[in-house]
């Protein structure tokens, strides 16, 4: 009787959730949709659409605009994207992630007494990727000029009314910012006053960044005058950033402040156009970027969960929460040990990791009444006909003493949730873009007079092969990042495009959003606002030295009923509570029945969109 009551209530909970109004209305559009984390940036995307641009043009304009606003990323960061090309019917991956610079070795950082690469400053910087990412996406798949697409960002760099959230972040981080002269000059215009950062609503000007963007556009326009076509002209702007005068000043400013990036590092780096990875979940093909992101972990989760009847458990019942959490923890254990840069040896065992047979074996580890702690990496090599070359490292993982639970403190949770933004764009011609750009967030170190903040992404490497033999820092290598856009196809057509800000929570939020739609029939807006859970039983990808898993630590929504809380605690979970646990997920649902698009943007932040 008890199980029946819990299940019945869970179904009632689902029906109530679907019947009630969401805090934000869904967006409806026929011609185009532009959704991102900043209203001004969504407006930039809308302006490009109104000029006749496609979804790639609009996405590039939104990335450029958000990079100019600093709160969650900047121009020296990285861009990860999935693009659906309606002309080929294929999903394309864009790898515009920077790489470790010359001299970035485990010995270098260990020689400075470090257990991880620093969180902030020049020594945390990989080569900038976003300028190259925007240029490549635009040149290969867009229709407009770089000048048109960068116009909104350049107008903002000339001066825009700054938001309180960003301005206050500058003020809170001012002691660190003062260590870096070029950052201080930009972020603290009222030096010496009680409040040194801009005030909310103040016109925030970035003259050096404006000049950098002007130089890129100038390179494009000069190439056009010489008879170059649109594509080659955009690549002329790319070249000026990575091999011209912009590159020289970036490197000078980086090295002046103690960074490692060289001109050769910038010149050798390139954007990679890749084939993404995918699995089929109950008739839906879900696409993620390769293992230099954590994206394939969500694919592993789906493979594991395909072995369970989730719908019958009831939305956010104790059994459902437990099963989903166990799948997440098992997939993250594999992520922590096996993911890394596919362009460097050793080769990651992705065929085995994403096989349905391996997932069935992982699913067998899920005890229906008890949290698996620790959740350890498995051995996917037999599932691709090989022997694991790192069995000795796996043995060290399993022979370690069980971790003692310590409650996550405020700093730990900040690193777990550390945000960026997401960009979703689609048009009636069939182009779809999902992007999770990031890097160079506040407090950022600006490289010389470029106005470009350097990325902090090198901290996602490890210095010890035992932790992850595929993700040890090395010059020229991409770190394994948390950034993970998603596209889903059904019957050969776009079905969902979705992404979320955050660190290690990203694929947790995205998994549950996807299940909300596919298993429980929620609308896209209901799905982005619906409560979900987040496990802390994983290694943090960002932060200081406290990166170890928190056994059983689980964040649940404050509205979780008492009896579900008690069931979870009996299973070994240590619960934390928040009013909003959904993300900020941004998503587009393609309504093939009506020939329209639904846009969803969670109630967690200021993310929203514009459609027509």
Spatial distance between the Cα atoms of 183 and 453, rounded to a whole number of angstroms: 8
CB 527 within 8 A of CB 600: yes
Spatial distance between the Cα atoms of 461 and 297, rounded to a whole number of angstroms: 17
Residue in 152, 138, 131 with CA at minimum distance from that of residue 38: 152
Which pLDDT value is given to residue 412? 66
Confidence of residue 15 (pLDDT cuts 50, 70, 90): very low
Residue 532, exposed/middle/buried by CB under 10 A (0-12, 13-18, 19+)? Answer: buried
Residue 511, exposed/middle/buried by CB under 10 A (0-12, 13-18, 19+)? Answer: buried
Q: What percent of the chain has pLDDT over 70?
A: 94
Which pLDDT value is given to residue 419? 65
Which pLDDT value is given to residue 18? 44
Say if residue 4's pLDDT is above 60: no
207-225 vs 230-243: helix crossing angle, rounded to 10: 140
Q: Residue 234 — φ and ψ, nearest 5°?
A: -65, -40
Residue in 266, 233, 71 with CA at minimum distance from that of residue 147: 233
Confidence of residue 414 (pLDDT cuts 50, 70, 90): low
Which pLDDT value is given to residue 363? 98
Spatial distance between the Cα atoms of 524 and 426, rounded to a whole number of angstroms: 15
Count the Cβ atoms, other than its own, within 10 Å of residue 5.
10
Spatial distance between the Cα atoms of 418 and 606, rounded to a whole number of angstroms: 16
Confidence of residue 8 (pLDDT cuts 50, 70, 90): very low
CB 198 within 8 A of CB 250: no
Spatial distance between the Cα atoms of 95 and 504, rounded to a whole number of angstroms: 19
Spatial distance between the Cα atoms of 552 and 407, rounded to a whole number of angstroms: 10
Report the greatest alpha carbon distance in the chain: 79
Spatial distance between the Cα atoms of 129 and 77, rounded to a whole number of angstroms: 6
Say if residue 129's pLDDT is above 70: yes
Say if residue 554's pLDDT is above 80: yes
The dihedral over CA atoms of 83, 84, 90, 94, expressed in degrees to the nearest 10, equals 0
Say if residue 162's pLDDT is above 80: yes
593 cis-preceded (ω within 30 degrees of 0): no
Enter the tokens of residue 346.
């050793």
Task: Please name the residue that has the structure tokens 């945390």.
Answer: 124
Spatial distance between the Cα atoms of 542 and 255, rounded to a whole number of angstroms: 23
**Mean pLDDT lowest among 99-103, 400-404, 491-495, 514-518:** 400-404
Task: Please name the residue that has the structure tokens 């093939």.
Answer: 592
Which pLDDT value is given to residue 531? 93
Mean pLDDT of 438-460: 96
Say if residue 416's pLDDT is above 70: no
Spatial distance between the Cα atoms of 111 and 304, rounded to a whole number of angstroms: 42
The dihedral over CA atoms of 262, 266, 267, 269, expressed in degrees to the nearest 10, equals 130
Task: Please name the residue that has the structure tokens 């019942």.
Answer: 317
Which pLDDT value is given to residue 602? 85
Say if residue 12's pLDDT is above 50: no
Say if residue 523's pLDDT is above 70: yes
Cα 507-539-321 angle, rounded to 5 deg: 50
Structure-model confidence comparison of residues 9 and 185, the more confident one: 185
Enter the tokens of residue 300.
């592993």
Say if residue 43's pLDDT is above 90: yes
CB 524 within 8 A of CB 349: no
Residue pLDDT, tens place only, 239-288 = 999 999 999 999 999 999 999 999 999 999 999 999 999 999 999 999 99
Q: Give the helix ranges, DSSP H, for 126-277.
A: 130-141, 146-158, 164-172, 174-177, 181-187, 207-225, 230-243, 245-256, 263-268
Cα 123-73-444 angle, rounded to 5 deg: 40
Query: What is the C-alpha radius of gyration for the chain, rounded to an integer number of angstroms?
Result: 23
CB 212 within 8 A of CB 450: yes
SS3 414: helix
Confidence of residue 10 (pLDDT cuts 50, 70, 90): very low
- The phi-psi region of residue 587 (left if phi > 0; otherwise alpha if psi is between -120 and 50; otherwise beta) is beta
Task: Please name the residue that has the structure tokens 């929504």.
Answer: 557
Q: Which helix (H) or strand (E) holds 608?
A: strand 608-611
CB 590 within 8 A of CB 388: no
Which pLDDT value is given to residue 11? 45
Say if residue 401's pLDDT is above 90: no
DSSP string spanning 247-305? HHHHHHHHHHTT----HHHHHH---EEEPPEEEEETTEEEEE--TTBSHHHHHHHHHHH
CB 297 within 8 A of CB 510: no
Spatial distance between the Cα atoms of 528 and 594, rounded to a whole number of angstroms: 22
Tell me the average pLDDT of the chain: 93
Confidence of residue 413 (pLDDT cuts 50, 70, 90): low
382 DSSP 8-state letter? G
Residue pLDDT, tens place only, 577-591 = 999 887 789 999 999
Spatial distance between the Cα atoms of 178 and 173, rounded to a whole number of angstroms: 9
CB 132 within 8 A of CB 270: yes
Mean pLDDT of 68-92: 95
């Amino acid at each position: 009787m008890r199980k029946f009551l819990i299940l019945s209530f869970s179904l009632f909970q689902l029906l109530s959730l679907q019947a009630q109004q969401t805090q934000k209305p869904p967006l409806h559009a026929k011609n185009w949709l532009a959704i991102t984390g900043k209203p001004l940036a969504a407006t930039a995307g809308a302006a490009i659409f109104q000029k006749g641009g496609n979804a790639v043009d609009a996405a590039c304009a939104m990335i450029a605009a958000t990079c100019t606003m600093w709160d969650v990323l900047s121009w020296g960061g990285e861009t990860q994207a999935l693009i659906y090309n309606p002309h080929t019917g294929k999903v394309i991956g864009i790898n515009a992630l920077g790489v470790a610079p010359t001299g970035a070795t485990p010995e270098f950082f260990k020689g400075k007494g470090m257990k991880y690469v620093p969180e902030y400053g020049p020594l945390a910087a990989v080569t900038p990727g976003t300028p190259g990412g925007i240029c490549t996406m635009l040149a290969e798949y867009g229709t407009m000029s770089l000048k048109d697409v960068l116009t909104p960002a350049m107008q903002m760099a000339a001066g825009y009314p700054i938001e309180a959230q960003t301005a206050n972040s500058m003020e809170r981080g001012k002691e660190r910012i003062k260590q870096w002269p070029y950052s201080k000059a930009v972020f603290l215009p009222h030096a010496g006053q009680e409040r040194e950062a801009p005030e909310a609503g103040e016109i925030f000007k970035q003259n050096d960044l404006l000049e950098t963007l002007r130089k890129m556009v100038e390179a494009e326009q000069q190439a056009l005058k010489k008879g170059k076509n649109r594509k080659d002209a955009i690549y002329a702007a790319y070249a000026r950033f990575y091999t011209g005068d912009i590159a020289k000043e970036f490197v000078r400013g980086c090295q002046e402040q103690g960074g490692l990036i060289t001109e050769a590092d910038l010149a050798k780096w390139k954007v990679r156009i890749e084939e993404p990875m995918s699995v089929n979940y109950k008739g839906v093909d879900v696409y993620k970027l390769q293992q230099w992101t954590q994206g394939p972990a969500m694919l592993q989760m789906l493979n594991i969960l395909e072995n369970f009847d989730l719908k019958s458990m009831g939305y956010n019942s104790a059994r459902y929460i437990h099963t989903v959490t166990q799948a997440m923890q098992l997939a993250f254990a594999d992520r922590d040990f096996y993911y890394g840069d596919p362009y460097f040896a050793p080769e990651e065992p992705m065929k085995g990791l994403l096989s349905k047979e391996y997932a069935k074996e992982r699913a067998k580890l899920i005890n229906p009444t008890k949290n698996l702690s620790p959740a350890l990496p498995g051995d996917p090599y037999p599932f691709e006909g090989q022997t694991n070359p790192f069995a000795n490292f796996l043995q060290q993982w399993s022979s370690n003493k069980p971790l003692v639970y310590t409650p996550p403190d405020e700093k730990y949770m900040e690193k777990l949730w550390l945000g960026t933004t997401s960009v979703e764009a689609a048009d009636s011609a069939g182009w779809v873009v999902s992007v999770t750009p990031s890097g160079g967030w506040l407090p950022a170190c600006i490289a010389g007079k470029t106005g470009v903040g350097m990325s902090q992404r090198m901290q996602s490497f490890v210095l010890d092969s035992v932790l992850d033999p595929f993700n040890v820092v090395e010059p020229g290598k991409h770190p394994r990042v948390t950034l993970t856009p998603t596209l889903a196809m059904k019957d050969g057509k776009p079905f969902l495009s979705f992404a979320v800000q955050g660190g290690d929570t990203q694929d947790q939020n995205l998994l549950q959003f996807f299940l909300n739609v596919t298993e429980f029939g929620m609308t896209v807006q209901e799905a982005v606002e619906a409560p979900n859970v987040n496990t802390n039983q994983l290694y943090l990808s960002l932060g200081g030295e406290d990166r170890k898993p928190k056994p059983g630590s689980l964040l649940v929504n404050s509205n979780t009923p008492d009896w579900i809380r008690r069931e979870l605690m009996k299973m070994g979970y240590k619960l934390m509570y928040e009013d909003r646990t959904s993300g900020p997920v941004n998503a587009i649902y393609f309504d093939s029945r009506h020939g329209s698009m639904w846009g969803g943007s969670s109630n967690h932040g200021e993310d929203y969109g514009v459609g027509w």
